[in-house]
A and B are shown apart, each in its own frame.
Chain A
Amino acid sequence: MTAESRVLAPTPSVQAGTARFRIYRYDPEYDRKPRMQDLEVRLHAHDKMLLDALMRIKAEVDDSLSFRRSCREGVCGSDAMNINGRNGLACVTSLRDLRQPIVLRPLPGLPVVRDLIVDMTDFFQQYHSIKPYLVNNTAPPERERLQSPKQRDELDGLYECILCACCSTSCPSFWWNPDKFVGPAGLLQAYRFLADSRDEAGAERLDNLMDPYRLFRCHTIMNCVDVCPKGLNPTRAIGKIKEMMVRREI
Chain B
Amino acid sequence: MVLAHRRFDAVIVGAGGAGMRCALQLARAGLSVAVLSKVFPTRSHTVAAQGGIGASLGNMTEDQWLWHMFDTVKGSDYLGDQDAIEFMCREASGAVYELEHLGMPFDRNSDGTIYQRPFGGHSANFGEKPVPRACAAADRTGHALLHTLYQCNVAAKTQFFVEYMALDLVRDADGDCLGVIALEMETGQPILLESKVTVLATGGAGRIFAASTNAYINTGDGLGMVARAGLPLQDMEFWQFHPTGVAGAGVLITEGVRGEGGILLNSLGERFMERYAPTLKDLAPRDFVSRSMDQEIKEGRGCGAERDHVMLKLDHLGAETIMKRLPSIREIAMKFANVDPIREPIPVVPTIHYQMGGIPANYHGQVIVPANGNLEMVVGGLYAIGECSCVSVHGANRLGTNSLLDLIVFGRAAGNHIVSALGQGASHKPLPRDAADATLSRLAQLDARSDGERTQEVAADLRRTMQAHCGVFRTGPLLAEGVRKVAMLADRAARVAIKDKSRIFNTARIEAIELTNLIAAAQATIESALARTESRGAHARDDFPQRDDANWIKHTLWFSGGRPLQYKPVHLKPLSVATFEPKKRTF
Measured CB to CB, the closest approach of chain B to A137, in angstroms, equals: 12
Interface residue B274 (Cβ < 8 Å from any Cβ of A): no
Nearest B residue to A120, CB-CB: B40
A132 touches B108 (CB 8 A): no
Q: Specify which chain B residues have a CB less than 8 angstroms from the CB of A199 in the assembled complex.
A: 103
B507 touches A29 (CB 8 A): no
Interface residue A176 (Cβ < 8 Å from any Cβ of B): no
Which residues of A from 41 to 82 have beta carbons under 8 Å from B?
46, 48, 55, 58-60, 62-64, 66-78
Contact (A64, B508) CB under 8 Å given A133-B152, A163-B42: yes
Q: When chains A and B are docked, how far (Å) is the Cα of A114 from the Cα of B510?
A: 15
Contact (A60, B454) CB under 8 Å given A70-B217, A163-B42: yes
A162 touches B105 (CB 8 A): no
B508 touches A155 (CB 8 A): no
Q: Specify which chain B residues have a CB less than 8 angstroms from the CB of A71 in the assembled complex.
A: 43, 45, 47-48, 215-216
Q: When chains A and B are docked, how far (Å) is the Cα of A69 from the Cα of B108?
A: 33
Q: When chains A and B are docked, how far (Å) is the Cα of A160 from the Cα of B110?
A: 22
Pick the contact of A63: B97, B217, B455 (CB < 8 A): B455
Measured CB to CB, the closest approach of chain A to B103, in angstroms, equals: 3
Q: When chains A and B are docked, how far (Å) is the Cα of A144 from the Cα of B105?
A: 11
Measured CB to CB, the closest approach of chain B to A45, in angstroms, equals: 9
Q: Specify which chain B residues have a CB less than 8 angstroms from the CB of A134 in the assembled complex.
A: 102-103, 151
B42 touches A162 (CB 8 A): yes
Interface residue B499 (Cβ < 8 Å from any Cβ of A): yes
Q: When chains A and B are docked, how far (Å) is the Cα of A66 from the Cα of B499?
A: 13
Q: How many A-B residue pairs have CB under 8 A?
A: 158
A28 touches B504 (CB 8 A): yes
Measured CB to CB, the closest approach of chain A to B60, in angstroms, equals: 14
A59 touches B48 (CB 8 A): no
Contact (A114, B455) CB under 8 Å given A73-B336, A133-B155, A144-B100: no
B100 touches A59 (CB 8 A): no
Pick the contact of A73: B39, B217, B332, B454 (CB < 8 A): B332
Q: When chains A and B are docked, how far (Å) is the Cα of A198 from the Cα of B108?
A: 13
Interface residue B283 (Cβ < 8 Å from any Cβ of A): no
Q: Quick check: which of A9-17, A146-154, A166-174 contacts chain B, the rest being far away?
A: A146-154
Q: Specify which chain A residues have a CB less than 8 angstroms from the CB of B97 in the assembled complex.
A: 140, 142-144
Q: When chains A and B are docked, how far (Å) is the Cα of A164 from the Cα of B147?
A: 13
Nearest B residue to A134, CB-CB: B103
Interface residue B444 (Cβ < 8 Å from any Cβ of A): no
Q: Specify which chain A residues have a CB less than 8 angstroms from the CB of B332 in the assembled complex.
A: 73-74
Q: Specify which chain A residues have a CB less than 8 angstroms from the CB of B508 in the assembled complex.
A: 58, 63-64
Q: Specify which chain B residues have a CB less than 8 angstroms from the CB of A162 in the assembled complex.
A: 42, 47, 143
B456 touches A60 (CB 8 A): yes
Which residues of B from 104 to 145 have beta carbons under 8 Å from A?
105-114, 137, 140, 143-144
A29 touches B502 (CB 8 A): yes
Interface residue B328 (Cβ < 8 Å from any Cβ of A): yes
Contact (A144, B113) CB under 8 Å given A76-B215, A133-B103: yes
Q: Specify which chain A residues have a CB less than 8 angstroms from the CB of B107 in the assembled complex.
A: 149, 152
Interface residue B460 (Cβ < 8 Å from any Cβ of A): yes
Question: Quick one: CB contact mask for B60-103 with A, threshold 8 Å, 1 for yes?
Answer: 00000000000000000000000000000000000011001111
Q: Specify which chain B residues have a CB less than 8 angstroms from the CB of A46 in the assembled complex.
A: 248-249
A70 touches B499 (CB 8 A): no
A144 touches B114 (CB 8 A): yes
Interface residue B505 (Cβ < 8 Å from any Cβ of A): yes
Which residues of B from 202 to 261 have beta carbons under 8 Å from A?
215-217, 248-249, 251-252
Count of chain A residues with a beta carbon within 8 Å of a chain B beta carbon:
58
Interface residue B503 (Cβ < 8 Å from any Cβ of A): yes
A113 touches B108 (CB 8 A): no
Interface residue A248 (Cβ < 8 Å from any Cβ of B): no
Q: Specify which chain B residues have a CB less than 8 angstroms from the CB of A66 in the assembled complex.
A: 505-507
Interface residue A27 (Cβ < 8 Å from any Cβ of B): yes
Pick the contact of B144: A68, A133, A159 (CB < 8 A): A159
Nearest B residue to A27, CB-CB: B502
Interface residue B500 (Cβ < 8 Å from any Cβ of A): yes
Q: When chains A and B are docked, how far (Å) is the Cα of A144 from the Cα of B97?
A: 5
Contact (A76, B504) CB under 8 Å given A69-B216, A144-B97, A144-B114: no
Q: When chains A and B are docked, how far (Å) is the Cα of A163 from the Cα of B43?
A: 9
Interface residue B4 (Cβ < 8 Å from any Cβ of A): no
Measured CB to CB, the closest approach of chain A to B251, in angstroms, equals: 5
Contact (A64, B499) CB under 8 Å given A147-B112, A149-B110, A162-B143: yes
A140 touches B105 (CB 8 A): no
B48 touches A196 (CB 8 A): no
A152 touches B108 (CB 8 A): yes
Q: When chains A and B are docked, how far (Å) is the Cα of A30 from the Cα of B412?
A: 46
Interface residue A182 (Cβ < 8 Å from any Cβ of B): no
Which residues of B from 148 to 167 have beta carbons under 8 Å from A?
151-152, 154-155
Nearest B residue to A113, CB-CB: B505
Q: When chains A and B are docked, how far (Å) is the Cα of A39 from the Cα of B252?
A: 32
Contact (A146, B112) CB under 8 Å given A29-B504, A59-B456, A133-B151: yes
B503 touches A160 (CB 8 A): no
Interface residue B193 (Cβ < 8 Å from any Cβ of A): no
Measured CB to CB, the closest approach of chain A to B72, in angstroms, equals: 22
Measured CB to CB, the closest approach of chain A to B305, in angstroms, equals: 13
Interface residues of B (CB under 8 A from A): 39-40, 42-45, 47-48, 57, 96-97, 100-103, 105-114, 137, 140, 143-144, 147, 151-152, 154-155, 186, 215-217, 248-249, 251-252, 328, 331-332, 335-336, 454-457, 460, 498-500, 502-508, 511
Interface residues of A (CB under 8 A from B): 27-30, 46, 48, 55, 58-60, 62-64, 66-78, 92, 94, 113-114, 117, 120, 124, 128, 131-134, 136, 140, 142-149, 151-152, 155, 159-160, 162-163, 196, 198-199
A sample of 30 inter-chain contacts (CB < 8 A) reads A29-B503, A29-B504, A55-B216, A63-B499, A63-B508, A64-B500, A66-B505, A66-B506, A66-B507, A70-B217, A71-B215, A71-B216, A75-B48, A76-B47, A131-B155, A132-B151, A132-B154, A133-B154, A136-B101, A143-B57, A144-B106, A145-B100, A145-B101, A147-B108, A147-B112, A149-B107, A149-B110, A155-B105, A159-B105, A198-B103
Q: 19 other contacts beyond A59-B455, A149-B109, with CB at 8 A cut-off?
A: A28-B504, A46-B249, A60-B454, A62-B499, A63-B454, A69-B216, A71-B45, A75-B48, A76-B43, A76-B45, A76-B48, A114-B505, A133-B103, A140-B97, A144-B113, A146-B108, A147-B108, A148-B108, A152-B105
